[in-house]
């Protein structure tokens, strides 16, 4: 064992434990975060934000040779990796035990809605039961008794990535923290379980466990299967003469789209408030897929009607027609505001994909792959 010290922090290294900090009057000198889903879009932005804030960041990664880790390492070097899987309770207990985090962000999920109809059971296990397993890992490692206690205590704080998909067939517009849920997909149902089990652990054990009900948020790092990235990549391919058409499903669906970087900040803010509460995060403006498409094509001087082809392959068994956030609580209590407008977001994504496809020096690789952040 050896000890280093500086004016700002003390670090104690113990051979089989990663890094135990010395606390001053019970306050950790550097906050340590553990993120599940760190290889996804939001994981990358959250890791960047936390590192900027001086956190030590750990990411839970599944699989013995996860190809997404190289991409993460390339873009965000300072993250430390620990293996584990949301399907495996023991691995989560080990991860929390080893990392000894101050904060745990559960972003891991099967997040693509159409896939949740094809693999409904797996979605329930990963997206629904995953949060329960992370909460249990925190409970066990923190020594919180399974018998009921609502005494708040100094402990690991937990963030659950809840979703506006839970509102589904909306009961009111805009949707707030008080709007009832009516999920329309196995994904939405699984997220609703994750949401309520988080609330239940807060109420049952006094845990600092919160859910952010996030509306759609996008970026150049978005997976190519989601509509915004599919459109930005499609527009770039057509502009560069690599394709002539873009096949899409329901153009009438409306979403409240924001920038993922802004939403990652909201996650951190929710875990640094005094009281554990749930928050809706969105812009408060709703647009149709048609408006998205029109704007994206116009960005490069093209008319969308010359290129977009409707394809029933992309319509869903049950659709969420309209989402629009009421982010008043987050604005008033967290001081959170989105910074990037819809127009800026669309331009950012189209420009990024134009650059990606123009300058790719490895054209043999599939440029639609999200591996190309």
Instruction: Report the interface residues with ligand NAP, using CB under 6 A.
Output: 36-37, 39-43, 62, 66, 68, 85-87, 107-111, 126, 161, 163, 214, 216-217, 223
Q: What totals of helices (H) and strands (E) does the chain contain, helices first?
A: 12, 18
Residue 164 in the binding site for ligand G4F (CB under 6 A): yes
Contacting range for ligand G4F; rule: CB under 6 A; set: 84-92, 204-212, 314-322, 357-365: 314-322
CB 179, min distance to ligand G4F, A: 13
User: Token digits for 43?
Assistant: 């994981």
CB 25, min distance to ligand G4F, A: 40
Phi, psi of 313 (to 5 degrees): -55, -25
Residue 160 in the binding site for ligand G4F (CB under 6 A): no
Burial grade of 275 (CB within 10 A; 0-12, 13-18, 19 or more) = exposed
Longest dimension (CA), the chain: 68
Residue 127 in the binding site for ligand G4F (CB under 6 A): no
Hey, how many other C-beta atoms are within 10 angstroms of the C-beta on 54? 11
Residue 216 in the binding site for ligand G4F (CB under 6 A): yes
Residue 258, strand partner residues:
217
Nearer to ligand G4F, 14 or 310 (CB): 310
Distance, C-alpha 21 to centroid of its chain:
28
Verify whether residue 192 is a known catalytic residue: yes
Cα separation, 27 vs 22, in Å, equals 9
Residue 226 in the binding site for ligand G4F (CB under 6 A): yes
Cα separation, 132 vs 114, in Å, equals 23
Which of ligand G4F, ligand NAP, none binds 37 (CB below 5-8 Å, type-dependent)? ligand NAP
Do 130 and 36 touch, CB atoms closer than 8 A? Answer: yes
Q: What residues numbered 273-302 form the site for ligand G4F, per CB under 6 A?
A: 289
Interaction site with ligand G4F (CB under 6 A)? 111, 113, 163-165, 215-216, 225-227, 230, 248-250, 253, 255, 289, 314, 316, 319, 323
Catalytic (active-site) positions? 192
């Amino acid at each position: 064992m050896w000890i280093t010290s500086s004016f700002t922090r003390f670090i104690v290294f113990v051979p089989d434990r990663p890094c135990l900090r010395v606390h001053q009057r019970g306050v950790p000198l550097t906050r340590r975060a553990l993120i599940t889903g760190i290889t996804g879009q939001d994981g990358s932005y959250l890791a960047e934000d936390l590192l900027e804030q001086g956190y030590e960041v750990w990411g839970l990664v599944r699989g013995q040779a996860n190809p997404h880790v190289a991409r993460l390492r390339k873009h965000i070097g300072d993250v430390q990796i620990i293996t584990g899987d949301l399907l495996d309770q023991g691995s989560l207990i080990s991860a929390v035990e080893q990392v000894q985090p101050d904060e745990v962000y559960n972003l891991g999920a099967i997040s693509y809605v159409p896939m949740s109809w094809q693999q409904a059971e797996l979605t329930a296990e990963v997206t629904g039961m995953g949060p329960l397993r992370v909460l249990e890992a925190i409970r066990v490692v923190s020594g919180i008794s399974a018998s009921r206690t609502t005494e708040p205590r100094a402990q690991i704080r937990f963030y659950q990535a809840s979703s506006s998909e839970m509102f589904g067939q909306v009961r009111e517009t805009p949707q707030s923290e008080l709007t009832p849920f009516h999920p329309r997909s196995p994904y939405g149902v699984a997220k609703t379980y994750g949401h309520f089990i988080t609330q239940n652990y807060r109420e049952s054990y006094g845990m600092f466990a919160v859910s952010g009900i996030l509306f759609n948020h996008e970026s150049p790092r978005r997976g190519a299967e989601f509509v915004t990235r599919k459109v930005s990549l499609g527009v770039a391919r057509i502009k560069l003469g690599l394709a002539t058409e873009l096949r899409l499903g329901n153009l009438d669906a409306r979403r409240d789209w924001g920038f993922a970087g802004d939403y990652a900040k909201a996650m951190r803010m929710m875990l640094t408030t005094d009281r554990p509460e749930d928050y809706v995060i969105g812009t408060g403006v709703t647009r149709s897929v048609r408006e998205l498409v029109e704007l994206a094509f116009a960005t490069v001087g093209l008319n969308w009607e010359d290129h977009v082809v409707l394809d029933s392959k992309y319509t869903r068994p049950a659709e969420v027609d309209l989402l629009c956030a009421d982010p008043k609580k987050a604005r008033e209590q967290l001081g959170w505001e989105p910074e990037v407008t819809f127009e800026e977001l669309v331009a950012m994504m189209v420009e990024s994909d134009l650059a990606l496809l123009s300058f790719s020096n490895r054209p043999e690789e599939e440029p639609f792959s999200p591996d190309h952040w």
